[in-house]
């Protein structure tokens, strides 16, 4: 008598498993990248917690414009005129809007009309990080609140969560609105928050 049904199925099952094992092993074992092969750049500066300071005493309209341009040109931020669609990383605000708690009637006149440069606050307890469902927005150990654009699904929860309006959504392809692309930095695409 030949083999019975039960043994036949067993052999078939094992052979199918056998053919699948090699590719599976290749996939997981052949990966050459491991932690020992990547280093932190020796040139990288380190800090316990990074901060960026804007000296309002010497800031004027012209300098603010220069700062905005430098940041936006380097990072390929599109210049979209429609304020409902605009994308901004750093921009100017009036004093009373930037510091509502410190603004009052008797505020110094020069402060009153001074532009204040505002940008992401890199909050200690960032609400955008807490609401992000994919952890696209995350907080680095050195305090920088970073954005992993690869992971963003464009749900805009972070925009709703940010109390400072520091997040922008790409309502359209930003590339036509970038005057001169910086080839050393990527752009973003439609449907991504930055």
Partner 1 sequence: MRNESKIFAIVLILFICFLSFPFWYNLGKASKIVKPELSKKAKKEKFCVEETEYMKSYHMKLLNEWRDMVVRKGRRVYIGLNDRQYDISFQNTCLNCHNNKGEFCDKCHNYVGIKPYCWSCHIEPKEEN
Q: Can you give the binding site for partner 1, defined by CB under 8 A?
A: 30-33, 37-42, 44, 76, 138, 140, 146, 148-150, 181, 183-189, 192
What is each CA distance from 121 to 52, 54, 112, in whole angstroms? 9, 12, 22
Minimum separation from the CB atom of position 38 to partner 1 (A): 4
| Cα separations in angstroms, 52 against 127, 143, 183 | 20, 12, 26
Min dist CB 186 to partner 1, Å, is 4
Distances in Å between the alpha carbon of 126 and those of 10, 18, 112, 122, 129? 56, 49, 29, 7, 6
Joined together, the tokens standing for residue 183 give 């080839």
Q: Which helix (H) or strand (E) holds 155?
A: none
* CB closer to partner 1 out of 127 and 191: 191
Choice between 41 and 109, CB closer to partner 1:
41
Least spacing, CB of residue 180 vs partner 1, in Å: 11
Cα–Cα distance measured from residue 22 to residue 127, given in angstroms and rounded to the nearest whole number: 45
Nearer to partner 1, 105 or 141 (CB): 141
Q: Which is nearer to partner 1, 163 or 183 (CB)?
A: 183
- Residue 80 CB, shortest distance to partner 1, in Å, is 17
Q: How many CB atoms are located within 10 Å of the residue 192 CB?
A: 19
At closest approach, how far in Å is the CB of 154 from partner 1?
A: 13
Angle at 122 between CA 120 and CA 127, to 5 degrees: 95
Which CB sits closer to partner 1, 43 or 108? 43
């Amino acid at each position: 008598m030949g083999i019975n049904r039960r043994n036949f199925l067993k052999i078939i099952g094992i052979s199918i498993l056998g053919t699948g094992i090699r590719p599976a092993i290749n996939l997981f074992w052949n990966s050459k990248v491991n932690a020992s092969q990547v280093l932190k750049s020796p040139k990288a500066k380190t800090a316990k917690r990074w901060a960026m300071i804007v000296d309002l005493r010497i800031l004027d309209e012209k300098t603010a414009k220069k700062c905005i341009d430098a940041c936006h040109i380097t990072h390929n931020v599109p210049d979209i005129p429609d304020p409902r669609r605009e994308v901004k990383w750093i921009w100017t605000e009036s004093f009373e809007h930037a510091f509502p708690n410190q603004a009052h009637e008797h505020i110094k006149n020069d402060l009153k009309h001074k532009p204040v440069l505002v940008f992401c606050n890199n909050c200690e307890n960032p609400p955008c990080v807490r609401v992000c469902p994919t952890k696209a927005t995350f907080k680095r150990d050195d305090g920088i609140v970073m954005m992993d654009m690869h992971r963003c699904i464009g749900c805009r929860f972070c925009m709703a969560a940010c109390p400072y309006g520091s997040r922008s959504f790409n309502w359209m392809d930003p590339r036509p609105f970038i005057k001169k692309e910086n080839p050393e930095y990527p752009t973003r695409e439609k449907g991504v928050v930055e």
